[in-house]
Copies of this chain bind each other. A is one copy, B any other.
């Protein structure tokens, strides 16, 4: 490489998103990039010329290791949808003038569906205008819903945390005793795709029966059938554990969480903020059956629990970061790096690049054949697909009993400002 590289992070964070950043940084330097810039808060920050030189923050190999163990987007994230090119050329001119000023040769964007839309538009604009900069997407999402890639970095660590926490909660439910039993409803992230919800089945094994029912958003949710199943289970078990995706809907398309309280927050891509599915269902069950119920949301921990990251996930996230830089350096643009599974056992996986036009704004759902006939559990094939992705651990670097992270640029500048203020 002769010029510079710029990298950004976008969309919901994951436990592995910074490993991709570490991969981009190392490979860019290895291939001769003079500078590697980081956009602060993605494309939105770049438009305001908010960026850093990554070498000001990653000084040593220990820093790189800390970065890989740091959850949430180190550079800051955004949810910003670029306008259509023909509707607003000015925005694109501005972005490209900043890229030119920084002598950017490769633009790497780590993100999910919505973020690939950014890569698509920027690379299209470069083609239209004959600009030489290369634009490559680096997959990232706990939801595992990106098209054309076997799976997405970030999913494996989330699945490992979910499987582990699920098992611990099942234990907890079984040790309690209530006269009419206890029903635990666990709510898992995943608006339209049930990959994370299904990952609760990882808890099932020689020492754990796993959850009793798993409801994915791919299948319309039938409140009556659900009540009937729970009732029948309570007759034979003292503790029943049901997992639901936050995005389950009834047959008429109403989100189950909307049956409880109205949804009042919609993000920049028009997505409704879903929450409250478990607590709505727990109240329903308590009313119907008179038993003790509890609602548990794994909430933010699903995407931020770096302390229980999967080694396979962290390595693959680093690998796709490096592959993105290589692809750009070799002349690709408008592409996303994908993971291609070569074999299940022993698990082997490599990278390829695919046209981002085929990926952006698409969604990969759990195939119907990986959900059981009744639509309330995942099959063994589903578990066989996920299992390799949660293997191995990345020991946190513990300092004073708590995992150490790398200080973010934002926090660093806060501290410098505070120190300056104190000096005065």
Contact = CB atoms under 8 A, between A and B. Distances in A.
A132 B160 CA distance: 50
Contact of A401 (B41, B74, B175, B310): B310
Interface in A366-399: 387, 390-393, 398-399
A225 B206 CA distance: 52
Interface string A176-218: 1100000010000000000000000011011111000000000
A172 B71 contact: yes
Interface stretch (A90-98, A292-300, A316-324): A292-300
Given A168-B301, A402-B164, A41 B177 contact: yes
A292 to B, nearest CB: 7
Contacts of A297: 296-297, 299
A70 interface: yes
Interface residues of A, number: 70
A414 B393 CA distance: 32
Given A175-B77, A294-B300, A410-B174, A71 B168 contact: yes
A62 interface: no
A177 B304 contact: no
Contacts of A307: 164, 168, 308
A72 B177 CA distance: 12
Nearest to A184: B300
Contact of A163 (B44, B177, B401, B408): B401
Contacts of A175: 9, 13, 72-77, 408
A405 interface: yes
A393 B329 CA distance: 43
A133 interface: no
A205 B165 CA distance: 26
Contacts of A160: 401-402
A168 B304 contact: yes
Nearest to A204: B402
